[in-house]
Structure 1
Amino acid sequence: MNTYQRADIIALVQNDSFRQWVLTSTPELDMLWQQYLLQNPNQEAVVAQAREIVLALRVKNDFISDTEIDSIVSDTISTIRQTPENNRDETKSYTDFSESTPPFWNFKQWFTLAASFVLLLGIGYLVYTLTKPETLSDENKVVAVNQKKKLIEKVNQRESPLTIELPDGSRVTLKKNSRIAYAEAFTGSTREIFLTGEAFFDVVKNPSKPFLVYANELVTKVLGTKFRVSAYEAEKHITVEVRSGKVSVYASQDTLSRSQSSQEEVKGVILTPNQKVVFSREEARIEKTLVEKPIVTIPPKELARFVFEDAPASQVFSALEKTYSIDLVYDEELMSHCPLTATLGNEPLFEQLTVLCKAIEAKYEVVDGQILIHSKGCK
């Protein structure tokens, strides 16, 4: 074991969040450390060893000091490294201490022994991991994220998108240089996905089993819908865009605890079609807005070419609301006295609004996922 691995093990064992995850895990801590493993696959063996040491020390968890932990881990690693191979009795089990173990060891000696044993097992695991032949490709790799469950990891290193079918029939379209991880079967009360990069989700509806996407600092919760998440590790922003249905997006508990912003700014929002959130990772702030190019959300058979002749502006705006599932906020009484004659074709929504507002001397702006129409009325 090299110096860096030794230092990593000690750092993990001394990390309060890591010890909490091992001993009293919560969904937020699970998300945090699973995401860490996905982003640092070379640390799997180190995390496994640190986990076993924390479990061995759990009886002392309430009163053991960081100094003691550092001493125990350091002594353990030093003892294993200094034991000559030719001094080990290969015919004798190293768990048999009946002849050599003093009848009354002090507390620290017992836990040093326990930590030595689990660390020895961990080193064996590391050697096996580094020397065993690779049996699975990067696009279909089963990784042990923790001792409770195994996740299937999918990685897309191709130029074209990779479509993946999940155990519940939901489909994920994974962009280049992106990866997801999920359980072999959704047996619990939720369907959990861990994403690094960008993916489009088409989720099978199941009200009794919410679908959760953990993407760095954000959690997206749905029952059944279509949406896109972009959460590249190197990017400063995370975005979630909704195509259909309803989505709840909120910051992870760890993000909330580290946030310097008001809790109101990061606690979460509800998104509907053509809305999106942009999460600033530096400021830990969520902003709700509209997608750059809103799409039509009604069935094609209900879509007709917009031809208006002296129609009240309120009627035109109402038709746009229905077509794009976006709230347009305006003074209905005022707009009912503004006649419009216009033919709207396949132009993007914002181009249509520009034409309409110019005709009635109005302006529009996007605020909190809605479109506000400002007008003083028509002459």
Structure 2
Amino acid sequence: MKTEHNPNIDELLVKSMLDEASVAEQIEIKQWLLDDDDNQRYFEHFELIWNESKRLARVSTVDENAAWERFKTRTRAKEQETEVIPMYPKPVFRILRMVAMVLMTAGVGWLSYLFSTRSSSHEMLTVRSGMETLIDTLPDGSVVTLNRKSSISYPKDFEGKTRDVRLTGEAFFDVKPDKSKPFLILVNDVTVKVVGTSFNVKDNAEKTEVIVETGIVEVSRDTQRVRITPREEATIMKASAQMRKSVTADEFHNYYRTRRLFCDGTPLWRLVEILNEAYEADIVIGSERLRNMPINTTFDQNSLENILGVVSETLSLKVEHHGNQIILK
């Protein structure tokens, strides 16, 4: 990670965590985060370890002052060689006292871990798609396609008995088979387990949805567990403990990968739902009688304007624009 451009960044981050950073220092930290993606990952590691240290501190029964004195005794020999005057004495000593306690209670090498993450094989990598879809190859050769505004985190190398990744948003996975090491996707409190298959996972504020294209996928939440096969989906509602298995009604989950909308008797309300999501539009159906009118056509790489034009002609509808809202009448 490229932190060498700012040798004082750790001290600045400590001050920020303690809410003692000045406005100028906060600006310096923000600029450092924008300079390189590695800096953002370094900050995430720093914040993770900081929070873990505080958590351990809350449950510790060890004398913090005694731990601090032992820590100073161990490091005194090195300090005698070169006197170092800290730039920010108060926050630095606070964090070192916390570090000493963590070292004694949990056996966690806080400082050594913090700086060794640059080369550690356990380093977590995070890939974000931003405003465009993105294709990424994982360490095992599996391929993931991220929809817009989504992210995935995974280790530099898949070690241990499973291949664990974390997903935010939506992604399509084409998993490389390995029966000895299952592939696990963690999405909030939902776990998706596979060996080698292809499937789509979508998570939003209302639900988590898993749709299988090939192979068998096991979806679990707490004590509930369901297996789904091609053209089946599992839906887990956020507001309840409900987990539902059903047959996939359409292929709209493929849109962000194929840029194709295949409508086969698709009711208008369903097409509007997908268009609002895919184009970040605000389309409403102005009459209840229009909601279930069927659409039978394929939209391939079409703009929203072209799609609405075809819908208008096919169903004899009017398309009205009111500010950012589009009304079908």
The TM-score normalised by the length of structure 2 is 0.47
The TM-score normalised by the length of structure 1 is 0.42
Q: Please tell me whether Structure 1 or Structure 2 has the larger radius of gyration of its CA atoms.
A: 1
Q: Which has the higher contact order (CA 8 A, sep 6+)?
A: 1
